[in-house]
Each structure stands twice: as C-alpha cells, then as structure tokens.
A and B are shown apart, each in its own frame.
Chain A
C-alpha cells in the first residue's frame, strides 16, 4: 500500500527519517525548504548563499537525524529555524557581507521610474541599517517579519520569553526609525 506522506506530521516523518526512510526525508524537504530559504535570505540577502545554507542544514539533518529529539517538546520548525539561524550567523562570520543587488528589488509595475528608484534606495538603506543592528535585534526582526512565525515562536527559537523578545523588537524598531528618518 502506498504511504500518504503529506498526511504525516513533521514528527512522524522525523521518526521515519531516524529509521532511515529517505522518502520521509524528501517529504520534509518539499514541505519546508521554501520557508527556511526565506529566513536564510533575510539574513544573507543573497540567493546562492541562502540556498547553500538551507541545503547544508538539511543535508546535516539527513546525515545525523538523531540530533532532533522529539522528547524535548519543541516543534520541528522551531528547532530547525534555530539551526538555520546559527548556520547563517556562521556563514556571515566566514564570508564578507554580500553586496546588495539592485535587480533583486521588488518592482511594482505601476510605479514610475523615479518611484521605483526611490523604493530601491529606501530598501537598500533599510537593509544596511538592519545589517548594522546588534545580532539579537536583527534575529528578532528577521524572525518576526517573516511570514508564519509568531512572536511566541520567534521567542522559542531565540530561547527567550515573549517579553524579552518584544523588548528586543522595540529597541530594533526605535533604532531603525531614528536612522531611517529621512525615508519615513
């Protein structure tokens, strides 16, 4: 009988991966690669680097699935976001910051050339200021403004309570408002 992989939850799939099931691993990869990539991209601002980090993280998971311990009552995604964040931080330490690429900016077709240029400038300034924030503030921002990650989950990922996370976010936003004054 064919196994209905999409019906299995992450924990069931991980138990199978720990027993050596490659199809279960493939289902996990299909299910979560995009969201882990999005987070890595927020950190690294570079497509190739973000893809490398996500690939590295998932290959490590396959090689040593015993690192995941279901008994600790953590959601797989919460745990794995932490893995991805740590790998992104390592990556940034090892390599120099990646230059922003103008072509990657969001372009709204209704915008005039001037507006598009202004938006690109605004985005570049914002990324620069975010990159200059202290590590934990940047992590909090990246997690909370990434779709699908609630503040509580972000706090779990960072290993802190909700109030501490909100305080970090507040400080990050205050700094950004100050530094981005001319664009607000």
Chain B
C-alpha cells in the first residue's frame, strides 16, 4: 500500500456523498413536540438541589448562622473556670449554716 492510495482513500471518505436535510426538519421536530407531555422522574439529586434553592438564605444569614454555631461550639467545649469556685463557695456557706444549726 503506498501513500497515494492512503491519500486517495482518505479524500474519497471525506467526499462521501451527502444530502442536506430538509430545511424544515428542525421546525418539524419542534412542532411535533409541542404539547407532548414529559415523563416526570423522581431524581434525588435534583430534589435536594430544589430543596436548597427553596431554603436559600442571603449571605449575611449564613454568616450569622455560622457565628452562632461557632459560639455554641466554643461555649460547650470551654469549661468555665469560675464554676468550681462558685461551687466551693456554696459548699462553704452550707457548712457554715450546718455549723450554726449545730450550735442551736
């Protein structure tokens, strides 16, 4: 097989006969589908996307919500230093009262 044969075959393949479509083919298809009902499928991803669209908040809303969540997280994860002191104070007060009752 020589290069000429390859080239000739390639050009024959490129020049294969063709016939243009009817000019109104696209219009016919569009017309045919007018009024044809679509099959509705339940798609999880699309439903979730729709749900997020429905629940869409403006950007400041997200910032506020994120700040609140962060604040709650920090609040729960940090043990307040004063709490044990307060407890020990209340314990002292109770023991003082008990002592007083003892005197009586």
Binding site for B on A (CB under 8 A): 18, 20, 22, 25-26, 29-30, 33-34, 37-38, 41-42, 47, 50-51, 54-55, 58-59, 62-66, 71, 104-106, 122-123, 126-127, 141, 145, 173-174, 176-177, 180, 183-184
Contact = CB atoms under 8 A, between A and B. Distances in A.
A55 B25 contact: yes
A62 B36 CA distance: 8
- Kindly state the interface size class of chain B when it binds its partner: 20 to 34
Interface of B: 1, 4-6, 8-9, 12-19, 21-22, 25-26, 28-30, 32-34, 36-39, 41, 43, 45-46
Contacts of B12: 122-123, 126, 180, 183
Given A18-B46, A29-B26, A51-B21, A184 B14 contact: no
A51 B1 CA distance: 38
Nearest to B2: A184
20 contacts: A22-B33, A22-B34, A30-B30, A38-B21, A41-B18, A42-B18, A50-B21, A55-B25, A55-B28, A55-B32, A58-B33, A62-B36, A64-B38, A106-B17, A123-B12, A126-B16, A141-B13, A173-B9, A180-B9, A184-B5
A29 B29 contact: yes
Interface of A is mostly: helix
A183 B13 CA distance: 13
Q: Please give me the 8 A-B residue pairs with the lowest Cβ-Cβ distance, nearest first.
A: A66-B41, A37-B21, A62-B33, A33-B26, A64-B39, A145-B13, A184-B5, A26-B30
